[in-house]
Amino acid sequence: MLTNFVLPNLAPAYPELFLLAMACVILLVDVIGGVACRTLVAALSLVTLLICAVITAGTATGETTMTFANMFVDDAFADLLKMLVYGAVAIVIVYSRRYLRDRGLDKAEYYLLLLFSTLGMMVMISANHFLALYLGLELMSLSIYAMVAMDRESARSTEAAMKYFILGSLASGLLLYGLSMLYGATRTLEISGVLQALAMNQSNEIILGFGLVFVVAGFAFKLGVVPFHMWVPDVYHGATTPMTLFISTAPKIATFAMVLRLMVFGTIPLAPLWQPMLMIMAVLSIIVGNLAAIAQTNIKRMLAYSGISHMGFMLLALSTGVVHGHAAYALAAYSSALYYVVAYVMMSLASFGVLLLMSRAGYDVEMLEDLKGLNQRSPWYAAMMMFVMFSMAGIPFFVGFFAKFSVLLSVIGAEFYIVAVIAVAFSLVGAFYYLRVVKNMYFDAPSDAAPIVATMDARLLLSLNGLAIAGFGLFPGGLMSLCQEALARSLY
């Protein structure tokens, strides 16, 4: 038996293998060095992500390569999303370093969980097999559950972790049940094999329909869209701000990859079945997210409901790829969805980054009133936060405006005019709570006169983050072309 074993092509998985090896090395460094090596652990984590990016860029050919018995795929889409994940996780580490150190949470476990969660995301992004997809999802999710509960002295964090774990386990079960039904209907576990079976009509349509319902419910929970959004505000509020920052950014990219792999790369012939489900969830998310955010006084909960509405916009684009049985505009719709995810992650990094940099030992910036008079304390931080709020509200000319505009173009192109009107109307509703933050920063007296102290690397990164939101808003063509090119090279 061993003589027949053929070593798979490991080159497409070099970034994952390197990340796993470095996570083990970092674990040994912490065991041997202890507290004295905490700074080294953080630095090694950043270096690991940087080298992973170099390896990904070096192995990127633009062509689709499969390995591990077609369970793992390396294509332009995967390469782009992995680079985005590396960048998001690296920014999270830089933003959260001082916050964690001030509260005694700067432990190696935090960085290890970040890296293992990143590894799960990378596997999800490159999965061409139900088993690989599920393993990546669980590795990412279990790491996040543990991260939410890291502050063991906080009852709020423990409660949030328990809610997240219980509901997340239920969602994973729904997804697994749906995948098993897709397997039963198509007799294959490969995502590309599902597409081939559907093209040859070698499947049971009734079982496929039920399977898609469970699959959509599973990934809808991971995205945090209505009606599977219950955990989002509680977890965002209960977790420490660095954990909230992480949950709201990189996992969204990996979950988007999972949705696209399953829905577009695997079951696009069934688009007339799953597109209406996504459309309903998208519209409800936009409505509920924006209305609920108005009543919030806690900015983390406000951003949680804001994130629900933003994920609704992303689903709008995914639900307009196939029109009247034709996929002529599919590339434009799906690239708009990818562009929207990138824009949202960029905005979420900057928003929570400002909250982290304003916080200090014994004082967390969590309430809207904590931002009062920020312009008087730090005009530059106030300007960065204003960029974020304007962008999230969809005000020209910021990256969020063009993200929403591209999605609305897809919706109008699919002739869903009423849906477009609803999306625009509730975007205007959402502008109220975003502009309320700007009003607090510029027109109210400061509620706290303490100076804002931040490390040089965090200040520089936050500045680049905020300027990128404005820069990609003024020149959106390059990022949109990159998204379109990656999808055009990867779609089967």
DSSP conformation letters of 53-90: HHHHHHH--SS-EEETTTTEEE-HHHHHHHHHHHHHHH
pTM of structure = 0.94
pLDDT at 1: 46
User: What is the spatial distance between Cα 432 and Cα 393, in angstroms, rounded to a whole number?
Assistant: 8
Name the 3-class secondary structure at 36: helix
> Which residue type is seen at 87?
G
pLDDT tens for each residue of the chain, 492 residues long: 455 767 888 888 999 999 999 999 999 998 887 776 778 899 999 999 999 999 999 988 878 889 898 899 999 999 999 999 999 999 999 999 989 888 888 888 999 999 999 999 999 999 999 999 999 999 999 999 999 988 888 888 899 999 999 999 999 999 999 999 999 999 899 999 999 888 888 777 888 989 999 999 999 999 999 898 889 999 999 999 999 999 999 999 999 999 999 999 988 989 889 999 999 999 999 999 999 999 999 999 999 999 999 999 999 999 998 887 777 788 899 999 999 999 999 999 999 999 998 888 778 888 889 899 888 888 899 999 999 999 999 998 899 999 999 999 999 988 899 999 999 999 999 999 999 999 999 998 887 777 787 788 889 999 999 999 999 988 998 999 999 999 988 875
pLDDT at 108: 86
Of 140, 90, 171, nearest in space to 252 by CA: 140
* Torsion of the alpha carbons at 437, 440, 442 and 448, rounded to the nearest 10: -120
Q: Phi then psi for 7, rounded to 5 degrees? A: -65, 125
**Residue ranges of the alpha helices (H) in 60-190?**
76-102, 108-125, 130-148, 155-186
Residue with token string 């027109």: 443
Helix (H) or strand (E) holding 50, with range, is: helix 38-59
Alpha carbon 323 to chain centroid, angstroms? 27
- What residues form DSSP beta bridges with 72? 67, 127
To 10 degrees, what angle do helices 477-490 and 330-358 make? 130
